[in-house]
Amino acid sequence: MTTFYRTRITIEVLHEYPIPDEFDLADIIREGDLGSYVIDEARQCTQPITGAEMAQALRAARSSPDFFGLDDDGNPLQECA
């Protein structure tokens, strides 16, 4: 049985103007490297999750459970023989 993990990374960003809505994490990190933002602290929390939880998380992330070889219920997909 495969073990899946969910890791949440929280960062604190100090900045003078609002972060544009279209910025993604890569844009924020780049601004931190360039000096427009100060990235003060990063925290990481990793926890194991079940196949069903992974399937749900993948759908919430606009992906598909089959990304990790799971069906919609989080069970392993059966390979054709």
Q: What are the Cα distances from residue 38, in Å, to 3, 10, 45?
A: 35, 14, 22
pLDDT of residue 2: 87
pLDDT of residue 78: 82
Q: Which residues contact 7 (CB under 8 A, 6 or more apart)?
A: 44, 45, 46, 47
SS3 12: strand
Query: Domain residues of the chain, as ranges?
Result: 4-68
Per-residue pLDDT of the chain (81 residues; tens, 9 = 90+): 789 999 999 999 999 999 999 999 999 999 999 989 999 988 999 999 999 999 999 999 999 999 999 999 999 998 765
Q: What is the DSSP string of 16-74?
A: SSPPPTT--HHHHHHHHHHTSSEEEEEEEEEEEE-HHHHHHHHHHTT--GGGGTB-TTS
pLDDT of residue 42: 83
pLDDT of residue 66: 96
Query: Phi then psi for 24, rounded to 5 degrees?
Result: -105, -175
